[in-house]
Structure 1
Amino acid sequence: MTEEGTVAWPRVILFDLDGTLIDSVPDIAASANLMLAREGLNPLTIDEVRAMIGHGIRVLTKRIFAARGQDLDGEALDYKTAIMSGIYAENLTVRTTVHAGAREILAHYRSLGAKLAVVTNKPQLATETVLDAFELSGDFDLVVGDSGMPRKPEPDMLLHAIKQLGASPADAIMVGDSPADIDSARAAGIASVGVRGGYTNVPLEDLRPGAIIEQLSDLPKAVEALRADV
């Protein structure tokens, strides 16, 4: 807190979910392979699926079938997306785990008085279900999932979250692991921190976030570095 009693920068921290706070790819890959098996298609590896995550379940479904030589679009893609959504809804937390340091870093910034939000392309209901299952819901002031708003890398979800929390883009940072996160932060005009080990097939250095950290426990150091530029 500053001498005036307001929260020191950043007042708002937006966190991506998949690949940033949780490792959900085992459940996503298992769901994808259940769907492929129903179609008589060969399974994908976890590494193949990991590179497909980040732009919402419709894009994920399109990429899954494209990897097996099927280019889906329109109603066909809508239908397969609905199937994937249903399968994944039944397997949200079977193999998923919370990343090391996630609970501690959330508690740290809550203790400082920062407003925390999840901003994810994961469907809203699935996001809330996962947060509840891992007892993370109470750590966040706001949860923004995919519910019809333009998804990351568009800036809309981030700007909506910041406005809902009574702040401005200059007050906020985005913490994420993928191009969708870093590009949406840039489009929204807010600082970003990239976390290694997530779901991206593009090196974080190429994405040019404001800072790069090896793990979530390194976030305070990155914030201090970014604060010098505010």
Structure 2
Amino acid sequence: MRIPKQIKAIILDIDGTLIDSEDGLWWVLFQGILKELNMQPQKKSTFLTHAGEFSRHLTRSLSGKAKKEAMGKIREYIHKNYMKHINKVSIFSDTIPTLKGLKKKGLTLATVTNTPRNLSFPTVQKFGLPKYFKTMVFRYDVKKIKPAPDMLLLALKRLNLKASQVIYIGDKHTDKIAARAAGIYFIGLKTAGNKRIERLNQIVKMV
């Protein structure tokens, strides 16, 4: 499927798309959460498959009060330990050149992430990224996070644009589902989408 014409903005996922946080920070947190919940160790490949929604993965067999308590423990553990491991996050080498290239073409940029603002913003601020974005949507800005379309729909509202005027780039299947539900053209970074790219900087020549 061809990229739509008259694109005015690009929305980007953060973790795994702009910054490399999953192999380091989130993997460490995931292992700690398993211990906190008295669960058996899991392979890194399993974690990477569910990165971005591992809370749901770990609690999928629970229900009612047990699930609510487990989700609470996961949130508490993340908020308590995230900043301790922020040094394990790095920025992909082509992130800033890509953002500069897109801005040079006159495109408006925005981000959406399932990570809470108080954790994600200091992380991207560390690399000087916020200045490139007109709006940033975080967990708790909406009732339902990805794969629900709510974050993307809120970004569209803030940008005052239609779905047909925007491209969304992400690295996970949940990103694809969210984009489809929002009616937005999805470009998958090393994952399936309306179009797939292997490096983020490929998008500059495509739009």
Q: Tell me the TM-score range normalised by the shorter chain.
A: 0.7 to 0.9
Identity of aligned residues (%): 26
| Structure 1 residue ranges, 4+ long, deviating more than 6 angstroms after superposition | none
1:97–1:46 Cα change, 3 Å: farther
Aligned length in residues: 199
User: Per-residue deviation at 1:38?
Assistant: 4.6
Query: Is residue 2:183 matched to residue 1:189?
Result: yes
Q: Deviations over 1:119-147 (max 9, x none)?
A: 11111222212111121111111110111
Q: Deviations over 1:172-212 (max 9, x none)?
A: 0000111111111111111110001xxxxxxx34xxx2210
Match of 2:114 in 1: 121
Q: Which runs of 5+ in 2 are unaligned?
A: none
1:44–1:170 Cα change, 3 Å: same
User: Per-residue deviation at 1:62?
Assistant: 4.4
User: Per-residue deviation at 1:40?
Assistant: 5.6
User: Per-residue deviation at 1:148?
Assistant: 4.9
Query: Is residue 2:203 matched to residue 1:210?
Result: no
User: Per-residue deviation at 1:41?
Assistant: 5.0
Kindly report which structure 2 residues correspond to 1:8-27, keeping only aligned pairs within 5 A, or say none. Answer: 9-25=6-22, 26-27=24-25
Q: Deviations over 1:4-43 (max 9, x none)?
A: xxxx832110001111111111111111223334556554
Structure 1 contact 123–147 (Cα < 8 Å) conserved:
yes
**Cα distance in 2 between the residues matched to 1:177 and 1:88:** 24
**Cα distance in 2 between the residues matched to 1:29 and 1:83:** 16
**Cα distance in 1 between the residues matched to 2:85 and 2:131:** 19
Flag the structure with more relative contact order, 1 or 2, with Cα contacts below 8 A and sequence separation at least 6: 2
Length-normalised TM-score, structure 1: 0.77
Q: Which runs of 5+ in 1 are unaligned?
A: 1-7, 197-203, 224-230
Length-normalised TM-score, structure 2: 0.85
The amino acid of 1:49's aligned partner reads F
1:53–1:39 Cα change, 3 Å: closer
Match of 1:50 in 2: 48
